[in-house]
Amino acid sequence: MQIVDCFPWFAPYGEELLYLRVNLLKDHVDKFIIVESNKTHAGQPVERKFPEVARKLGLPIEKIIYIEHDIPDTEDLEILEIDRRNAGNNATNKDSLYARVRERLQKDAVMNALRDFEKRDVFIYGDADEIINPKHIKWLAKMAHNHPNVIVKIPLVYLQGRADLRVHHRNGAPLIWKRAMFFATKEQINHCKISNIRCGNIHMPIRFPTADGIQQEDMGWHFAWMGTNAQRQTKADSFAHAFDSFKWHKTGGYSDYKQFVDTTEPVEGNVAPDSNEDHILKRYPHSELPELIFDTPLIKDFLLPEVKLDQNYNFNDCNCYWCQKLEWPLMYDLEPENSTKIWFEVPRSCSVTIKESYPGRMQVMRGTRLYKKFVEEGKKPIMIFTDPIDRFVSLINVYLTDKQRYADYGKDIFNTIGKDISTLPKLEKIDLFFRNLNKITGGQQVHHFHPQCRFVDTESFEHIEVVKREDVNSYFNIDQKHNVTHKDITAEDFTEEQIDFIKRAYASDYAFYDKYGVKNGKTKNKRKNS
């Protein structure tokens, strides 16, 4: 028994998924059959590029059967009953029907390569963005081989916009993509045709995989509407639904879709990129995705694009009033008469607590000579270190939710980017915050976002005692009462990409703590989320 994976492919939208699918499955199937047409399903001419792309991506050409497929001109297309069935409510629209014909012809073109296979060889069929989890292939193929009188359909995780966002119904239940991908023998395909099997237009039972009497789900992934907004628009212009009308579109069809993708990001809690108001996105764990995604920059950038700061933003540049006035780094002699502690002030890291706990403190003027004097007197330079993720949580709460301290400050900030956040879901606010950090931090609080190590002079001291924020009370023998930021937002609200971004953005802080971090002057602490 041979196992063959089959799918249609278009060059304008699909290099990344082509690479992922072939490399994920190549060790689990005997062959691939890939069909590339000369027209999109919407009828646009498209240059066939598979051989060129395959060489560029280093795909195993010896395992691939490539079919160049020609779709006739529109006037030569024959509309069949199955095309009307697939068009559904759009069956009165000629353009929609012709799109279904082109789609059908490309799918059924796989059958041109079946003559060299045995009748009980097993074929996996799915669109290019429908990918089976390779760990299930052998037993599903055996199931199809041993049950020639049924079609084995494969339920997939339905992801949209990003690989870590799963489509759910409004009632909270995940939407299962389960009537598209299938396993079937050559004999079944020749009898029913691929297009009929895919849409369920067959006189043969459909079976879903079961284990211990329980129907299985999440046996692969449907990576729908991935990439940039421009790539999503390309798909909308070219796929079989390009001329369809939908009840959830303002105009009924895809004519208003461009506006939707330009204004709505794939964010947890948002409407899914298909623009269906009945569908919302919820987080899908990275641990459930193929490791190949994370090992391949081409794939990761496509499926899990990084959350980036505005390219014009510089963590180490600030012209705000406070930075100009205070000239960081800034030191205080906490108890000038008898203290052994010299404290470096770090914004958003217990600054208020320390200042109110030591009212008699003396500000130390900058200057290496004075620093050396303190070292000679045996005074220790101290810095309070807040885990960068916790510090960012504190910052984002100050800017978005702490109305007591900044009375609608968040609203004013987001008005600068043309967004009124008052009605936005919390997770969308967070996404906007990450994507527009330069504009948001353009005011006097900008230095809050700088790495903590920027506020410390490491050149003048051989050793700096770094105390973790959670140890402040015990270390200084004080009662910390000033961490009053209202935490509507927590680290659990961040996506894994956003957490990764914080870690990369503040890599210098983590390195600093690895070098200088101590607890009570004795042992290093393990940092959170390291």
Label residue 286 by pLDDT band (50, 70, 90).
confident
| Range with top average pLDDT, 114-123, 228-237, 330-339, 399-408 | 114-123
Please name the residues in contact with 273: beta carbons below 8 A apart, sequence gap of 6 or more: 160, 161, 224, 225, 232, 261, 264, 266
- How is 144-159 classified by DSSP, letter by letter? HHH-TTSEEE--EEEE
Lowest mean pLDDT among 200-204, 366-370, 507-511: 366-370
Tell me how far the alpha carbon of residue 292 is from its chain's centroid: 15
Structure tokens at 137: 């292939």
Kindly report, residue by residue over 503-527, the tens digit of the pLDDT: 877 877 887 888 777 543 433 333 2
Residue tagged 């960068």 (tokens): 388
Averaged pLDDT, 105-112: 96
Label residue 274 by pLDDT band (50, 70, 90).
confident
Residue 402, pLDDT score: 56
Please name the residues in contact with 401: beta carbons below 8 A apart, sequence gap of 6 or more: 410, 486, 487, 488, 489
Sketch out the chain's domains with CATH numbers: 3-157+178-209 (3.90.550.10), 306-530 (no CATH)
Residue 528, pLDDT score: 34
Please name the residues in contact with 23: beta carbons below 8 A apart, sequence gap of 6 or more: 59, 292, 296
Residue 423, pLDDT score: 65
Type of residue at 367: G
119-to-108, 144, 147, 152, 156 alpha-carbon distances in Å? 17, 12, 13, 16, 27
Which candidate, 152, 238, 157, places its Cα nearest to that of 198? 152
Kindly report, residue by residue over 47-90, the tens digit of the pLDDT: 999 999 999 999 999 999 999 999 999 999 999 999 999 999 89
3-state secondary structure string across 172-191: CCECEECCCCEEEEHHHHHH
Q: Is 435 helix (H, G, I), strand (E, B) or coil?
A: helix
Kindly report, residue by residue over 453-480, the tens digit of the pLDDT: 878 877 666 678 888 888 888 888 887 6
* Rounded distance between C-alpha atoms, residue 97 and residue 35, angstroms: 21
pTM for the whole structure: 0.68
Residue tagged 């199955």 (tokens): 82
